[in-house]
């Protein structure tokens, strides 16, 4: 089973406007939508779109939290959130007719030590070594690193596999506990290993190997329209996968989460490393064709899958 953890969930509101966004002027939306969000929840949505099953864990609060749970239930995504005081945050994405994105994310609510203990007790209900945990996204305001580390230790001590999609200090700390998979983008990777960002696979491979040296067992570096690079300690070859022709993003938000969902679903099904790499890129690129944080269906994924090129680096 796949267990996703979203410590700082959100409602994702997408507004589409007919003209480029203009500051200090009235901008009229031609359409709007609201979906449950936060990286871990998006991963659960991607797993569902691929035909898999997951349970979404995290915190929720207030009327927004109730809306989020109802929305997940309505699409048959299992969830087991810890209710806390406050109100779940709202993230706003504005997309104009050219496809340009403007995002405004709220910070979220603070979590007390007591609420975190209740959350750990909830996590312990799912500590089966067959389960795959996905830890993704930001932490709530003021969330102490010691609690983040305690969560990772709890998961790893139980022998569960762990996928991490974080950046900065969160990723650095997670690497100390040998996560089974990490998925930085080229900028997050460069920040952690101290290299310059690049989408040149022949250069990027050296940065990816640094992550393996820092503790990751497997790495997927997402490269946007350029595809992704995959490396693992127990795989003899590093793979670079891209699309031909390239797919222009229509909904860049959530495409990385779609890729993490594909990684988790592939691990759960026990597919080969090469097949995982292809499905992951196909899922991300197929989802990039869609507006907002909509996740691509398996049919759309395989349409992209047929266009993929796989190279060894």
Find the helix packing angle between 201-214 and 168-175, rounded to 10°. 60
- Give the CA distances from residue 154 to residues 88, 157, 205, 213, 214, in Å, rounded to whole numbers and listed in that order: 25, 5, 31, 23, 20
Instruction: Tell me how crowded residue 130 is: count the other CB atoms within 10 A of its CB.
Output: 9
Question: Catalytic residues, which ones?
Answer: 257
Please write down the long-range contacts of 294-301, taking CB distance under 8 Å and 24 or more positions apart.
294/35, 294/251, 294/254, 295/42, 295/45, 295/46, 295/48, 295/49, 295/254, 295/258, 295/261, 296/49, 296/258, 297/49, 298/49, 298/50, 298/51, 301/50, 301/262
Phi/psi for 38 (5° steps) reads 100, 140
55 bridge partner residues: 3, 78
Q: What angle do CA 81, 48, 223 make, to 5 degrees?
A: 100
Other CB atoms closer than 10 Å to residue 301's CB: what's the count?
A: 25
Beta strand 2-6 with 132-136 is parallel
């Amino acid at each position: 089973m796949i267990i996703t953890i979203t410590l700082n969930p959100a409602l994702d509101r997408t507004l589409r406007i007919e003209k480029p966004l203009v500051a200090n002027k009235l901008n009229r939306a031609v359409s709007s939508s609201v979906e449950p969000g936060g990286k871990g929840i998006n991963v659960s949505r991607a797993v569902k779109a691929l035909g898999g099953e997951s349970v979404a864990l995290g915190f929720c609060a207030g009327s927004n939290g109730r809306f989020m749970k109802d929305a997940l239930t309505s699409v048959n995504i299992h969830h087991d959130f810890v209710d806390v005081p406050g109100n779940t945050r709202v993230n706003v994405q504005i997309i104009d007719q050219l496809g340009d994105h403007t995002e405004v994310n709220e910070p979220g609510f603070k979590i007390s030590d007591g609420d975190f203990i209740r959350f750990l007790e909830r996590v312990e209900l799912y500590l089966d070594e067959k389960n795959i945990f996905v830890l993704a996204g930001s932490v709530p305001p003021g969330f102490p690193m010691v609690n983040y580390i305690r969560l990772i230790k709890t998961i790893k001590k139980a022998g569960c596999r762990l996928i991490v999609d974080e950046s900065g200090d969160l990723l650095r700390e997670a690497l100390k506990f040998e996560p089974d998979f990490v998925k930085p983008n080229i900028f997050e990777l460069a920040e952690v290993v101290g290299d310059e960002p690049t989408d040149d696979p022949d250069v990027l491979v050296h940065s990816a190997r640094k992550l393996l040296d820092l503790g990751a067992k497997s790495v997927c570096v997402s490269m946007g329209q350029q595809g992704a690079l995959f490396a693992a300690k127990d795989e003899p070859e590093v793979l670079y996968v891209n699309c031909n022709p390239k797919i222009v993003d229509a909904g860049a938000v959530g495409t990385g989460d779609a890729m993490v969902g594909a990684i988790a679903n592939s691990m759960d099904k026990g597919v080969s490393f090469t097949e995982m790499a292809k499905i992951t890129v196909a899922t991300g690129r197929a989802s990039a064709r869609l507006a907002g944080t909509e996740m691509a269906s398996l049919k759309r994924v395989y349409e992209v899958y047929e266009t993929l090129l796989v190279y060894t680096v």
